[in-house]
Amino acid sequence: MLQESAKYPQIAYYLPEAKELDKLPRQWVANVIYTIAGEPFAVWVEQQIARRNSKIVLNNNKEISMDADVYAAFMASGQISSKCSCRLKQTLTNTCCCLA
């Protein structure tokens, strides 16, 4: 995360010294970086999450198969949360609809 933030030199003004960063909650650091860097950082985070999730699916043999008609019905259903359908789409297609 800090390597990615190095692309935005102005972030250094808002973060403490490197030796103090380990004492801070990771979420706080991410929020500061996002506040300064904006959408490019959010896209990078989503890509990292998708990459990690794909790796977990492949390494732990957790891939699922679904008939195209069942998937279409599932995605069209109003009875599920949008977060759930987004995660399913991300799992099946390795893309995230949250960024669309």
pLDDT band at 20 (very low <50, low <70, confident <90, very high): confident
**pLDDT for 37-78, tens place per residue?**
888 888 888 888 888 888 887 777 766 677 888 877 877 776
What's the Cα-to-Cα distance from 46 to each of 1, 14, 80, 98, 99, rounded to whole Å?
A: 12, 23, 22, 9, 8
Count of domains forming the chain: 2
86 lies in the same domain as 43: no
Q: Are residues 53 and 84 in the same domain?
A: no
If asked whether residues 36 and 21 sit together in one domain, one would say yes
Instruction: Please name the residues in contact with 51: beta carbons below 8 A apart, sequence gap of 6 or more.
Output: none
Residues 44 and 89 in one domain: no
Structural domain harbouring 9: 1-63
Sorting pLDDT into bands at 50, 70 and 90, what band is 100? very low
Q: Worst-scoring range by mean pLDDT, 14-18, 37-41, 45-49, 79-83? A: 79-83
